[in-house]
Structure 1
């Protein structure tokens, strides 16, 4: 079982819609919403690392989501050993650059 903490930033006018969309995803629970700046903290439970990454990709693809990044990860009871970083994680790392407008 993998547990992820995911920071989601939504367009403020669509915050309620994004919260509802997140709540409808399997294994995802919304735990905190900051209406001032459109930030949402969601927790995701997934069977393995591949399902976890697929879940983050689904969140990123939701309409009106500006960004979504995994900020916490807990791995429990995964008996599979990896010789190297799975390719989808390498792709994920490269795609997670902070957009310039959020760094200003």
Structure 2
């Protein structure tokens, strides 16, 4: 099981609609909102890192979401052993950090 904290930002006038959409996503819980700034704190649960990244993509695709970024990540009870980072998280030679493919479009 993977848990991640995600900061979601929407325009203040859309916060309620975005929160309702987020609460409809599987494995997603909204924990805090700030209607004045449009910030929403979300915790998501996923089976593994690939499901976690897919869930983050779904959050980013919610209408009226300006930004959604994972700010915390925790792996618990993951039986799969990773001998390296998944390809979408690996940095190319000379890069400071990897840019996931879905952000390169």
Aligned pairs, how many? 94
Q: CA RMSD in A?
A: 1.4
**2:15 aligns to what?**
15
Aligned residue for 1:94, secondary structure, equals coil
Runs (4+) of structure 1 moved beyond 6 Å? none
Following superposition of structure 1 onto structure 2, how do residues 76-95 of structure 1 map, counting pairs within 5 Å?
Answer: 76-90=76-90, 93-94=98-99
Uncovered stretches (5+) of structure 1, i.e. residues with no partner = 96-104
What is the TM-score with the length of structure 2 in the denominator?
Answer: 0.83
Structure 2 spans left out of the alignment, 5+ residues:
92-97, 101-105
TM-score, normalised on structure 1? 0.84
SS in 2 for 1:52: helix
Give the 3-state SS of the residue equivalent to 2:88 in structure 1: helix
Aligned runs of 1:1-80 on 2, under 5 Å? 1-80=1-80
Q: Which has the higher helix share?
A: 1
Bigger Cα Rg: 2
